[in-house]
A and B are shown apart, each in its own frame.
Chain A
Amino acid sequence: MSYLPSSPYSSGPRSRGQEPQGAATREIPLISYRGVGKSFNGKVVLEGIDLDVYQGETLVILGRSGSGKTVMTSMLVGLNRPDTGSITVAGKEIMELKTDSDWREIRLQTGYLFQGSALYDSMTVGENVAFPMIQHTGWKEEEIARRVQEKLAQVGLEEAEGQEPAALSGGMQRRAALARSLALDPQIIIYDEPTAGLDPITGDEITHLIRRLQETLKVTSIIVSHDLNLTQQVADRLGLIYQGRMVFLGTFAEFLKSPHEEARRFLHEPQEDGA
């Protein structure tokens, strides 16, 4: 039984008479999935995904480990390619993007926080944050240094600029990686399991940080997670992926009332870390 409305345009909170927590602009979707499917070695991971994400909205994609949540978001930056369907990001059809230069604009507008942080080991934290600026802007050294400090301050890591990633705790690595993904002031931020593998207190700190960034930056955020605490605190809407399909899309309040078996299971059974 699917709780996904037939038209994703009518699935937003406004159509259900509920306003989102964030300042989402509902008229035109910034990101649209239409009938997206993906298989790996004959195993269907995603099937018929329809979804709209609006400007300024924070959407959480929930699902069990291996349900295809990360695959779904990684398509937005070209790390995976849909087998079927189409995805548009800011009006650009990603199926038409072939080369790195085609992808450049979308990638520069998108910050991506990887589950394992993916900080460059050979660089310090400051160099990690500076790296996108050095590669894509003509800013002078002093300007880059100032902006690196600013980004690190946003995530509360000013003192870690000269440290190597390996010397940081898991939570600090996650924050440093977040500072790097903010380096070019992206319009979209994708968080892949931002609290996975962290203790509850550090997980809460990351949750508060995401919420604070939402309030200050007002960017569009997609969060892949299985963390209900995080979802409750930051989500304007959430989508639940089950067996490659989106079986629920709505607000957290609606999710709590959802009779769908997987939603009930998600609410009442502890989830393991993973994508």
Chain B
Amino acid sequence: MQDTFFYRAGHRVMAFIDYMGELALFFQEACRTLPHPPWFLREVIAQMYHLGVKSFPLVAVASFAVGLVLAMQGITVLKMFGATNYIATSVCFTFVRGLGPLLAGIMLASRGGSGIGAELGSMRVTSQIDALTVSAVNPMKYLVVTRVLACMLISPLLAVAANLIGILGGMLVGVFQVGITPTYYYTLTIKYLTLKDVLPGIGKTVVFGMIVGIVGCFHGYNTEHGTFGVGQSTKTAVVAAIMLILISDVILTKLTLLLWP
């Protein structure tokens, strides 16, 4: 019975629902501390620097590389229709409407999420979280809320950077491979672009940032079994955050297309 496909699939689904419930309760607990001061704004800014600014090089390299590849592959398709000039519009829309925010979210999860999981995990196993509690500092507020807020605030900025750098990568291919002038490439890039294309993508990253923050903090905060547990928390935080970002991206994309077709 336990070896059947349906049993195992059902077990996985139940475990996933259980996990999502725990995440929701953790998030609720963090939200409950929000109305009461202190709000540790300095810590939020410090975390924005640690999680966001330090993730920028990773986001930049990934976006630039993806921009180059996307343009190179796109040209081969557009060539078939004699529309290579539209590589500019194609790269721009792909990045702005989906790829840029997604790359920013995944890169933030890889660097920031793992950092949060490892830091809070080691704080848990060395009693530093308990030390905060006995110092009458709410660790949920000081550690979790600040990091979640930092992720939510920094991820739209990372997404904008990812969009710009990805488009720049596409431009290099357009200019040097197709022979489009930079001015014309720029004109084609923004010609069809509206706020309706830009804002939903940027808005999604706030959700991605929240996922990275909550998942990273949840796994770090609940670390058990010493240093072995810290490794497990870090790994699970990254994998779970990326999975949830991908799932939420599908849902949010469908939702934004329904609201702003």
Contact = CB atoms under 8 A, between A and B. Distances in A.
A118 B138 contact: no
Contact of A121 (B36, B122, B134, B137): B122
Contacts, number: 52
Contact of A100 (B119, B126, B136): B136
B135 A79 contact: no
Given A116-B126, A121-B122, A121-B128, A108 B133 contact: no
B134 A107 contact: yes
A79 B130 contact: yes
Nearest to B50: A122
Interface in B91-136: 119, 122-123, 126-128, 130-131, 133-136
B136 A107 contact: yes
A131 B128 CA distance: 13
B38 interface: yes
Interface in A110-128: 110, 112, 114-116, 118-122
Interface of A: 74, 77-79, 100-101, 103-104, 107-108, 110, 112, 114-116, 118-122, 131-132, 135-136
B6 to A, nearest CB: 32
A108 to B, nearest CB: 5
A226 to B, nearest CB: 19
A112 B128 contact: no
A188 to B, nearest CB: 11
16 contacts: A78-B133, A79-B133, A101-B36, A107-B136, A112-B131, A112-B134, A118-B127, A119-B131, A120-B131, A121-B122, A121-B126, A131-B135, A132-B136, A132-B137, A135-B136, A135-B137
A136 B130 contact: no
Nearest to B135: A132
Contact of B38 (A112, A131, A135): A135
| The 6 A-B residue pairs with the shortest CB-CB distance in the complex, in nearest-first order | A107-B136, A118-B127, A118-B131, A112-B134, A77-B134, A114-B127
A135 B131 contact: no
Nearest to B142: A135
A79 B130 CA distance: 7
B136 A108 contact: yes
A39 to B, nearest CB: 19
Contact of A135 (B36, B122, B123, B135): B135
Nearest to B130: A79
Contacts of B136: 100, 103-104, 107-108, 132, 135-136
A24 to B, nearest CB: 24
